[in-house]
Amino acid sequence: MIEKTVFEAIEYRRSVRVYDDEKKIDSSVVKECIEYATMAPNSSNMQLWEFYHITSNDTIKKIIPLCFNQNAAKTAEQLVVIVTRKDLWKKRVNANLNYLDTVYPPKADKEQSSREKFAKNYYKKLIPFTYADFLGIFGLLKYIIISIIGLFKPIYREVRNKDMRVVVHKSAALAAQNFMLSMASKGYDTCPMEGSDTWRVKKVLDLPIGADINMIISCGIRKPEGVYGKRFRIPFEEVYKEI
């Protein structure tokens, strides 16, 4: 297999709606591409995501009607469901702190460098302040305080529960793009499907209440008719703004 360069993969990647059932994809290659997905940049390195690699035909059959029987789902050989896990923020904080202990072995406070103090305080104080909430009450209180402080100086304002939900979905979307471009580099095709009943998909995957479906991505090898025409984009000059 001759792998494509980054630019070739970007050009090659299309949202494929019909896959060739006579051309199989290797699950181990898809798994490798998911591993590349985990290397995506993400907010505060919290990695509040999970990746469900669906290879079971029975499970795929359950998910197809939940994607409204669209061709991208019906003809897919495998599915990848990207899930956000904002509810795991405490666990991820501890993981980052444990990692920092390997970078900066614990020592007396006065012996710590300013970088070490900042990094550890970031996860011990700032991240808990940002993510902690209770029925939206603490989030609203934080928002009011931040808004008042923001009258006098620049400050981070996304502190409500709904704001942090956007943050983790942005990070998961970056991982999804990493995955799809990695698949394209292997000559495999994908389609991110927006249309789905995410609540029922959560039930099929037995996800906890704190999990959210970010994206369901179908995988396979394209049929020519699976790409619906030439790529259309708004003229670059209309969306590019140099300041």
What are the DSSP calls for 117-154, one per residue?
HHHHHIIIIIHHHHH--STTHHHHHHHHHHHHHTTTS-
Pairing of strands 49-54, 78-84: antiparallel
pTM of model > 0.75: yes
The residue type at 152:
F
Range 158-170 average pLDDT: 93
CATH number (3.40.109.10, 3.40.50.880, 1.10.630.10, 3.30.1330.60) of 6-87+163-227 reads 3.40.109.10
Instruction: Name the residue ranges covered by the structural domains of the chain.
Output: 6-87+163-227, 88-159
Q: What pLDDT band is residue 72 in, cutting at 50, 70 and 90?
A: very high
Instruction: Using DSSP, state whether 197 is helix, strand or coil.
Output: coil
pLDDT digits (tens, 9 = 90+) for 182-227: 999 999 999 999 999 999 999 999 999 999 999 999 999 999 999 9
Report the percent of the chain where pLDDT is more than 90.
Answer: 85
Is residue 50 packed enough to be buried (19+ CB in 10 Å), middle (13-18) or exposed (0-12)?
middle
DSSP H helix total and E strand total for the chain: 11, 4
Range 78-85 average pLDDT: 98
Statement: residue 56 has pLDDT above 90: yes
Question: Among 38-47, 72-81, 158-167, 174-183, whose mean pLDDT is lowest?
Answer: 158-167
The residue type at 91:
K
Radius of gyration of the chain (CA): 21
3-state helix, strand, coil in the chain (%, to 5): 50, 10, 35
